[in-house]
Amino acid sequence: MAKLGLEALVILAYLFQICIAATAQDLPLYLPREKPEWAEHLSPNLASFSIEMDTWPDWAGKKVGEPNEYFNQILRNLGERTGHMPFLRVGAISQDRATIDLQYEVMNATFPEPTPQAPNPQADHIFIGRDFYALSGNLPEGTSFMWGLNLKDLNKTETVAQAQLLAESFIGSRAHLTSKMSLEYVELGNEPDFWGPTRWGSYRGPYGPEWNTLNYTATWVDFAKAVSGVFHTGESETEKPKLSPGGFTGFMSPEWTPQGPLLAGLLDDPDIRERTSQFTEHAYSGGFDPYGNVRPGELMNKLSVRANMSAIVSRRHAVQGAGLRYVLTFSHGQPGLSNTVESALWAADWLLLGASYGIERLHFHHGIGYRYNLVQPVDSSDDGLNITRPHILPSYHAFLIVNEAIGKSGDSYVTELSTTDLNMTAYGIWETNVLVRAVVLNTQVYLGEGEKPGIEVQLIGPGAQRPCTVKRLNSDTTTSFTGM
Ligand SMILES: *[C@@H]1O[C@H](CO)[C@@H](O)[C@H](O)[C@H]1NC(C)=O
Ligand SMILES: *[C@@H]1O[C@H](CO)[C@@H](O)[C@H](O)[C@H]1NC(C)=O
Ligand SMILES: *[C@@H]1O[C@H](CO)[C@@H](O)[C@H](O)[C@H]1NC(C)=O
Ligand SMILES: *[C@@H]1O[C@H](CO)[C@@H](O)[C@H](O)[C@H]1NC(C)=O
Ligand SMILES: *[C@@H]1O[C@H](CO)[C@@H](O)[C@H](O)[C@H]1NC(C)=O
Ligand SMILES: *[C@@H]1O[C@H](CO)[C@@H](O)[C@H](O)[C@H]1NC(C)=O
């Protein structure tokens, strides 16, 4: 392979071998001399988790003081590469089905029967017990949290009761349990754009057309003031946690976009403005379909990854224009794609493309047994791989690669590097104006027939003659589940 330019440059992550003479495509990759003007800062929390809270004890450990050591080790492996533990959002669909019941120590969740359409259904109800939020203290030291509270019931007494128990676990009488953790954000409600009529009959929510962005904005501000009051009493005045509006699916755009609430006065109240620093949305690059016709290559396809990311550009622009961070939480759910090595390539591209668009964090959705997880934290997580112990899935490698690319300096920047071919995608990472690492993805599809294709990357550009270190992710085929 070509010699690589800059000292300390590390090339990370290919799908297949890069130097297979017979069938290798020979492709140039130009390494620019300086950091491009449009390079974006890389947050150490770029690659984040979103955990469905109906199975929270499976991730955090069943009791206070009894952590899940397997999941914690996974988090430490990731944290080692950036110097920061991964950021966890806990909540999602089940957060709006939860109510407090302090007779329980941790929780009581009841689940509907699985169906072919929903093999891993979310709980239909959760009773939140005394130690539910305090389990946060079981995670590795330095873990940051965004906790979700129930807004959908439109019952302020309940939402405030949840905020009070959460506050007790982080800043109140039980704060000693979580003293090494950071509660960064509190989210009110998940996917409120699906609570009224939608364009899809089967996804109709409980409310009528009066549930619109104007109503959402007034309701959110009203509840946010009440919750804010819980966290800021007396002299324990602290900047944390901040409030996190949004959580929109994105499917109800253009009626439901961040612009709606921003125009409707979401941030008009000075206290709320002060306490709000991000707006989140969700992005589904594909959903679960039991009869889905899987076409290997379509998930990691360079054009569709860019088309999906481009769909949110105007929304991100509005949020950032209003002085807030734009954060995405999302998933891709198709077995045969989301649990294969293809998903690792998709996730690495999606994360770094998002970062190069100025998105600070992208949270990957997780539940027990979900095909698109990075990790299954318990023995009983049946995800179709027939593994009866905690295990990783292919997209875990994407988080390792991306975190290694971000590095520990706290001052790295990313841009996408142009390539001349749709089979190759590349990113450059700069520290103090020096290109220190590059990530190159080979998205050639190989299903095991004939000779495995490859790409020979010709590095060109200023100083492309000095040695570098190469680290590779290899797999047998595009559809491999294991063996990376
Ligand atoms: C959990 O809640 C369900 C539904 O309310 C109830 O039937 C069940 O008895 C509860 N379980 C326990 C252990 O209390
Ligand atoms: C609202 O929540 C409170 C506290 O959980 C509960 O006692 C009350 O019954 C709820 N109100 C309604 C209308 O459900
Ligand atoms: C907002 O929507 C809720 C749920 O449908 C409804 O109860 C409430 O009256 C609405 N508020 C306004 C101001 O329309
Ligand atoms: C988003 O990606 C999926 C594949 O993961 C693709 O089917 C879909 O067409 C893409 N969306 C757009 C807008 O291109
Ligand atoms: C898991 O086991 C089932 C039933 O034996 C089988 O159909 C399936 O192919 C197995 N999955 C994997 C990934 O080996
Ligand atoms: C991508 O690689 C495949 C397999 O090697 C090849 O058949 C195809 O022509 C390449 N596509 C492009 C756009 O270069």
Do residues 54 and 186 share a domain?
yes
d(CA 75, CA 374): 11
Ligand 3 surroundings by CB, under 6 angstroms: 207-208, 210-211, 215
**DSSP calls for 340-368:** SHHHHHHHHHHHHHHHHTT---EEEEE-T
- The model's confidence at residue 334, banded by pLDDT at 50, 70 and 90, is confident
Please tell me whether residues 26 and 172 are part of one structural domain. Answer: no
Interatomic CA distance for residues 13 and 220, integer angstroms: 43
Q: How many domains does the chain have?
A: 2
CA–CA distance, 147 with 188 (Å, rounded to integer): 9
Same domain for 102 and 163?
yes
- pLDDT above 70 covers a percentage of the chain that reads 94
**Which residue, by CA, sits nearest to atom 2 of ligand 3?**
211
Is there a single domain that holds both residue 71 and residue 36?
A: no
Residues 156, 65 share a domain: yes
Judge if 198 and 91 occupy the same domain: yes
**Residue 193 within any structural domain of the chain:** yes
44-79, pLDDT tens digit by residue? 999 999 999 999 999 999 999 999 999 999 999 999
Question: Is the CB of 161 inside a 6 Å radius of any atom of ligand 2?
Answer: yes
Is residue 406 one of the residues assigned to a domain?
A: no
What's the gap between Cα 339 and its chain centre?
Answer: 16
Instruction: Give backbone dihedrals phi and psi of 401, rounded to 5 degrees, phi first.
Output: -65, -50
If asked whether residues 113 and 28 sit together in one domain, one would say no
What would the mean pLDDT of 471-482 be, rounded to a whole number? 93
Task: State the virtual CA torsion across 331, 427, 39, 404 in degrees, nearest 10.
Answer: 70
Is residue 64 domain-resident?
A: yes
Quote the pLDDT of residue 235: 52
Query: How large is the average pLDDT for residues 453-462?
Result: 90
**Ligand 4 pocket test, candidate residues 285, 331, 334, 345, most atoms within 8 A of CB:** 285
Nearest Cα neighbor of 192 from 258, 104, 262 is 258
Which ligand has its closest atom nearest to the C-alpha of 371? 5
Q: Is the CB of 182 under 6 A from ligand 2?
A: no
- Residue identifier of the C-alpha nearest atom 2 of ligand 2: 158
Q: What are the tokens at 328?
A: 């995405």
Helices 69-82 & 395-406 angle (0-180, nearest 10) = 30
What angle (nearest 5°) sits at the alpha carbon of residue 449, between those of residues 445 and 450? 100
Which residues, including other chains, have CB under 8 Å from residue 307's CB and lie 6 or more apart?
Answer: none
Report how far ligand 6's centroid is from the alpha carbon of 444 (Å). Answer: 6
Average model confidence (pLDDT) across the chain: 92
In this predicted structure, the answer to whether residue 93 has a pLDDT above a threshold of 70 is yes
Q: Which two tokens stand for residue 466?
A: 């000095």
**Any domain includes 283:** no
Q: Does residue 17 register a pLDDT over 50?
A: no
d(CA 335, CA 289): 8
The pocket around ligand 4, CB under 6 angstroms, is made up of: 285-286, 298-299, 304, 307-308, 311, 332
Task: Kindly report, residue by residue over 146-189, the tens digit of the pLDDT.
Answer: 999 999 999 999 999 999 999 999 999 999 999 999 999 999 99
- What local confidence, expressed as pLDDT, does residue 240 receive? 81
Return the ligand number nearest the Cα of 129: 1
pLDDT at 359 over 80: yes
**For residue 290, what pLDDT band results from cuts at 50, 70 and 90?**
confident
**Pair (112, 156) in one structural domain:** yes
CB-CB neighbours of 19 under 10 Å: 11
Please, are residues 414 and 43 in contact by the beta-carbon 8 Å criterion?
no
Ligand 3 atom with the smallest distance to the CA of 215 is: 1
CB–CB of 69/439 below 8 Å?
Answer: no
CA of 284 to the centre of ligand 5 (A): 26
Question: Which CATH number characterizes residue 210's domain?
Answer: 3.20.20.80
Are 199 and 137 in the same domain?
Answer: yes
Question: What is the model's pLDDT at position 11?
Answer: 62
Looking at the domain assignment, is residue 392 inside a domain? no
Q: Which ligand is nearest to the CA of 332?
A: 4
Q: How far apart are CA 276 and CA 60, in angstroms?
A: 27
Residue 80 lies in a domain: yes
Q: Compute the distance between CA of residue 59 and CA of residue 139 in angstroms, rounded to an integer.
A: 9
Tokens of 360: 């600070």
Q: Do 23 and 81 reside in the same domain of the chain?
A: no
Please report which confidence band the pLDDT of residue 310 belongs to, taking 50, 70 and 90 as the band edges.
Answer: very high
pLDDT tens-place string over residues 186-206: 999 999 999 999 998 888 999
DSSP string spanning 384-436? SS---S-EE-THHHHHHHHHHHH-SSS-EEEEEEP-SSTTEEEEEEEETTEEE
Share of the chain above pLDDT 90, in %: 83
Verify that 83 and 23 share a domain, yes or no: no
**What string of DSSP letters covers 99-143?**
EE-TTSSSEEEE-PPP-SS-SSPPPSEEEE-TTTGGGGGGSPTT-
Identify the domain containing residue 95 by its residue range.
49-228+242-256
- Indicate if the pLDDT at residue 232 is higher than 90: no
pTM for the predicted model, two decimal places:
0.94
**Which pLDDT value is given to residue 419?**
96
Inter-residue contact 345 to 389 (CB < 8 Å): no
Residue 483 lies in a domain: no
Looking at the fold, whether 70 and 178 belong to one and the same domain comes out as yes
